[in-house]
Structure 1
Amino acid sequence: MDAIKQIFEGLEFTEEELLFIGKRSTKIALKKGDVVLSKGGLALSQFYVLEGCLRSYFIDSHEKDHTVQFAIHDWWISDYTAFFESSRAVLTIESLQNTTVLEFTRTAQQEIFDEIPKVERFFREKMEHSFGAFQKRIINNLSKTAKDKYNDFLQTHAQIEKHIKNYHIASYLGITTESLSRIRREIARG
């Protein structure tokens, strides 16, 4: 129940409502390297990260890895296009470290929305915030230098930067690992 309260911080629930939500979520412990969604699979769920770190990525036709999102404590992750359209995933979601998530299927989410309407509003507001963040990321990727993108990354993901591999960061920024190393050296020199 504490995890449910943590997810929906700011909302007041009755004991029955907490039980209703709890019965429609599944706690999953993942090991580093575990995959919770594979490209081509059905994206039937979204995941709330209780601890650890996940990343979503796709591999292009040239076998280049592109990280779309990192998800750390208190973040949500899924292949949202596939999740909302009930289509096949284009993204893969993997655990970058030992991670614990709560899984909510699309069906469970709809049941929660129908039974407890304030949760639907909560999710709508979260999705609005996420949409704005993705749009900001796209604009930054189109308009900022690699160094500026890295500095933005440090502000957003400071708590995980030291715990993930350089090639994941470079993939997220759309640069090579060599460019990332150069940028880090420049920053270290001041």
Structure 2
Amino acid sequence: MSTSVSNAFKDIQLENEELKVVEDIFSEGTYKKGETILHVNEKVYYQYYVVKGCLRTFFMDAKGKEHTIQFAIHDWWISDYIGYFSESESVLAIECITDAIVLKVAKNDLDNIYEKVPKIEHFFRKKLERSTVRFQKRILNNLVLSAKERYHLFLQTYPNIEQQIKNYHLASYLGITTESLSRIRKEVS
């Protein structure tokens, strides 16, 4: 796991003692394709770093329609951050699109490590800032871009995963029907 933790924090210089403290709070999980690692209405204890694989968060509306919020591939972080930061039950589910290996960290452990390794708090603050920017850009793009433009943006953001995900996952992420997605793909090719 040391290599995985080192990779998760490759953007910061950790001393050996600091790395050991960080390694002690992260645990590794292995999940199979199709497995749900967080169900709606469960208490959210962890956020996950994707070592290998592809995961997605999604929301199910009152009519039973799925809305994919995020895909997470190698070197991305994922959770139901509403539940994670508010220490409440999840409103999102997390599903493995492929077999996956993740590192997971509980919020209370992460809060404790901020005291011991301040570099980690800085790292997560910067990560949260970048994530907030990405989510706001996504909201704005969904409001102003055409479905075709959103599809092109998806291909730029998530290169090489289109073949790994189901059409309805991608369509729900883009906010369109699977028929519209098929039409856009035909226009593009």
Fold match by TM threshold 0.5 = yes
Q: Which residue of structure 2 aligns with residue 139 of structure 1?
A: 140
TM superposition shift of 1:11: 1.5
- Within a 5 Å distance, the mapping from 1:58-137 to structure 2 comes to 58-137=59-138
Q: Which residue of structure 2 aligns with residue 151 of structure 1?
A: 152
Runs of 4+ in 1 over 2 A off after TM superposition: none
- Partners of 2:129 and 2:147 in 1: how far apart? 27
- How many residues end up aligned between the 2 structures? 188
TM superposition shift of 1:10: 2.6
TM superposition shift of 1:71: 0.4
Provide the identity percentage. Answer: 47
TM superposition shift of 1:80: 0.4
Q: Which residue of structure 2 aligns with residue 174 of structure 1?
A: 175
- Partners of 1:182 and 1:75 in 2: how far apart? 30
- Partners of 2:52 and 2:85 in 1: how far apart? 25
- Partners of 1:112 and 1:8 in 2: how far apart? 14
- Partners of 1:10 and 1:101 in 2: how far apart? 18
- Partners of 2:143 and 2:186 in 1: how far apart? 24
Q: Which residue of structure 1 aligns with residue 57 of structure 2?
A: 56
Q: Which residue of structure 2 aligns with residue 36 of structure 1?
A: 37
TM superposition shift of 1:159: 1.9
- Partners of 2:11 and 2:101 in 1: how far apart? 22
C-alpha distance after superposition, 1:22-57 (max 9, x if no partner): 110110011001111110001111000001000000
- Partners of 2:12 and 2:128 in 1: how far apart? 17
Look up the SS of the partner of 1:23 in the other structure: helix
- Partners of 2:115 and 2:160 in 1: how far apart? 36
- Partners of 2:23 and 2:35 in 1: how far apart? 24
- Partners of 2:118 and 2:124 in 1: how far apart? 10
TM superposition shift of 1:69: 0.4
TM-score norm. by structure 1 comes to 0.97
**Between 177-186 and 11-20, the greater mean CA deviation after superposition:** 11-20
Q: Which residue of structure 2 aligns with residue 47 of structure 1?
A: 48
Structure 1: segments with no counterpart, 5+ residues: none
- Partners of 2:134 and 2:178 in 1: how far apart? 24
Look up the SS of the partner of 1:27 in the other structure: strand
Q: Which residue of structure 1 aligns with residue 161 of structure 2?
A: 160
Q: Which residue of structure 2 aligns with residue 12 of structure 1?
A: 13
TM superposition shift of 1:101: 0.2
Look up the SS of the partner of 1:58 in the other structure: strand
- Partners of 2:99 and 2:49 in 1: how far apart? 14
Structure 2: segments with no counterpart, 5+ residues: none
